[in-house]
Structure 1
């Protein structure tokens, strides 16, 4: 075998080894990218489900709820291209049914009260995640610019509303305990929360509602404050009448004594 032939064989072996290495790396890179995409889509779907299940239903209007479910359906369809899993088909059917129910419904959802600080913070966190999700969807042109802007304005209002609702819950509790003045203070705090987004028409509407409630409670508190005074006045009148009665009785006794 000549030196030239040997050299060619060695070169071919080297080229073959490099080719095998390149192909192997490309396959590994493709596998890693596939895993990354699957994980990313699974995370996205779980996040969408959290929006639907953990954000109080009164915060997600029909349009926003529809959008979230639709993004979930799209995510499942994308996932099915990368992996074959019967569970995906089941989830897809469930989400398609849920979408039909939401689109057909005209009744507002039953509100869920926010009762503690921890819950309010968690809801605010979820709403902030939803805000960023919509921003990304709009940047990727998954949502048109006009709808995206409308959603973002609404969610920024919801973030403040979730905090204000907690304060309103406290106000209602104080009112039940017969403390309208403390309830009024809580409604003032709710107004302060909403003033951070005072240019939002929904915030203006909420602020006006809180002001109307403050006026109502102020009248109630004034009536409560007047009641002890009315009670005292009634008691004083009764005492005077009783004293007058005793005086008359005493006069009558004296008159009888004198007549005797």
Structure 2
């Protein structure tokens, strides 16, 4: 009897411990799932910010498509962990948006860089994106070559955003007829690109800025020459009028003398 009681007690203890371990493992799995869901939701917010907040001129098409693909993949992971009709609809909407962008032939309109606070926010996005690229490279969701290319682009854009700001100021000065200020701002835009002037990415922008500076300087020189010619013509006309007036006065005086 005592043996049976002991065996039953041991069986109860083992069963109780097994239940406790099972509940602990179940709770641990639940917590792990919640942590993974929170991590994925955080990544989803990050990708959404990059897509929405980084201006189009700093998002090459292939990079934007990669961000779309990451967003789709994150939704798919979330659906595995937590099937939900709302998540499914969002996933399908993003797939449609990505396909529409991929097939679109229209170039997205650049955002004017017209504020220094905007520049600071964009640069924060660049730095955050580089960290995100490193994490994705670690998770093998992006190849090392592509990640390296995008990081190089972010480094270039870090300087280009300053050049774009001064180009905007130069354009405004030009529209207001302030040619000297316009040239000054375009030259400052070139100076902002000095640290990356030898990179292939910088060459088209540098060429464009130099062309704009040359055109404005040539137009200004032509305008000054025309103004100088106009002044010379006016002075010559004034001199001829004075000469004719003097001659008229002399003839009038001569006639008066003859009369008297």
State if a TM-score over 0.5 links the two structures.
yes
Alignment of 1:229-248 (within 5 A): 229-248=228-247
Between 160-169 and 71-80, report the one with greater CA deviation: 160-169
Residue 205 of structure 2 corresponds to 206
Between 220-229 and 34-43, report the one with greater CA deviation: 220-229
Residue 80 of structure 1 corresponds to 79
Residue 163 of structure 2 corresponds to 164
Residue 217 of structure 1 corresponds to 216
Shift of residue 35 of structure 1?
1.3
Residue 185 of structure 1 corresponds to 184
Between 58-67 and 5-14, report the one with greater CA deviation: 5-14
Between 231-240 and 92-101, report the one with greater CA deviation: 231-240
Between 220-229 and 51-60, report the one with greater CA deviation: 220-229
Residue 90 of structure 2 corresponds to 91
Q: Does 1:45 align with 2:61?
A: no
Q: C-alpha separation between the residues in 2 aligned to 1:87 and 1:37?
A: 19
The runs of 5 or more residues in structure 2 that have no matched partner are: none
TM-score (norm 1): 0.87
Query: 1:185/1:22 Cα in 2 relative to 1: closer, same or farther (>3 Å)?
Result: farther
Matched-pair contact (CA < 8 Å) for 1:48–1:68: yes
Residue 56 of structure 1 corresponds to 55
Residue 32 of structure 2 corresponds to 33
Q: C-alpha separation between the residues in 1 aligned to 2:62 and 2:38?
A: 28
Matched-pair contact (CA < 8 Å) for 1:194–1:203: yes
Between 153-162 and 95-104, report the one with greater CA deviation: 153-162
Query: How big is each residue's C-alpha offset from its partner over 1:95-138, in whole Å with a ceiling of 9 and x where there is no partner?
Result: 11112112212232122222211222222222222222223222
Between 58-67 and 223-232, report the one with greater CA deviation: 223-232
Shift of residue 247 of structure 1?
0.9
Query: 1:207/1:13 Cα in 2 relative to 1: closer, same or farther (>3 Å)?
Result: same
Between 166-175 and 202-211, report the one with greater CA deviation: 202-211
Shift of residue 13 of structure 1?
6.9
Q: C-alpha separation between the residues in 2 aligned to 1:94 and 1:50?
A: 17
TM-score (norm 2): 0.87
